[in-house]
Structure 1
Amino acid sequence: MQEDDKFNRVPGLYRLWDLALVIDRDHDHQVCYAQLAEDGTPLFSVFRRQVVPASMEAAT
C-alpha cells in the first residue's frame, strides 16, 4: 500500500445531515459511527483519500 492509499481523518464529528457538507467527488470516503451526542443524535467520523484517476493508475 502506498502512502497516497491511506485514508486521513477529517477533524471533527458530524451528524448525518452534515455529511453532505464534508463529502465531495474528489476523494474516496469512509464514514464510521463514532458516538451519540448528548441529545441522542448519532455522530460520525469521516476519513478520506485522494482519488487516483484510472489513466494515472495505468501509467504506474
Structure 2
Amino acid sequence: MPGGFGSYRGGFGLFDRARSAKKDIFVVQGASHYDLYDQPKFTGPALERLESFFAENL
C-alpha cells in the first residue's frame, strides 16, 4: 500500500540519494510492507529480483 507509513515515499528518497550507479528499485504490486515478511506470493518475486541483482552486481 503506497504511503501507508511513509516507507514507500521514503524508499524512493533513499534510492534517489544512493550514490551507486548499480541500483534498482522494485515495487511488489499489491503488497504492503508486512506482506513481504511471510507471504510467498509477494516474497517470491522480491527474492527473485534480489537474487538476479546480486548475481549481476557482486
Q: Do Structure 1 and Structure 2 share a fold, with TM-score over 0.5?
A: no
Tell me which protein shows more helix as a share of its residues: 2
TM-score range, shorter chain: under 0.3
Q: If the length of structure 2 is used for normalisation, what is the TM-score?
A: 0.27
User: TM-score w.r.t. structure 1 length?
Assistant: 0.27
